[in-house]
Amino acid sequence: MKKVYEVNNVKCSGCANTLITALKNDFGEVSVDLEVNPRKITLNIDDSKEAALKIKLKELGYPLTSEQLSTFENVTTSAKSFVSCAIGKVNLATSKK
């Protein structure tokens, strides 16, 4: 079933590229809407995979906006998102060559 989720810390196409690349093997095609705030991702997902999605998003630094995070988790996910963003930008740049 196609579902839309609001995620934190997504700022640019580098972030979007990281999300699309990191989620496609487990969750199939992913789209990221960078025109709205908070940012939204759309994917086809079974209810049984939602817990795994939440964990993966948090690992990448892009937790769901609905998640209640501690101050430490907020700082940690923010730092992870900067790294994920940088990787996404590098991957985008190298794929265009």
pLDDT in tens, 25-47: 999 999 999 999 999 999 999 99
Domain count, the chain: 1
Check residues 12 and 92 and name the one with the higher pLDDT.
12
Read off the CATH number of the domain in which 29 is found: 3.30.70.100
33-88, pLDDT tens digit by residue?
A: 999 999 999 999 999 999 999 999 999 999 999 999 999 999 999 999 999 999 99
Domain that holds residue 34: 2-95
Q: At what angle do helices 71-95 and 13-27 cross, to 10 degrees?
A: 90
The predicted structure's pLDDT at residue 14: 95
What is the distance between the alpha carbons of residues 64 and 26, in angstroms, rounded to a whole number? 17
**Residue 91: strand, helix, or coil:** helix
The predicted structure's pLDDT at residue 97: 57
What is the distance between the alpha carbons of residues 76 and 85, in angstroms, rounded to a whole number? 14
Distance, CA of 19 to chain centre: 4
Peptide bond into 63 cis (omega under 30): no
Q: Quick one: what percent of the chain has pLDDT higher than 90?
A: 88
- Residue 19's φ and ψ, nearest 5 degrees, are -60, -50
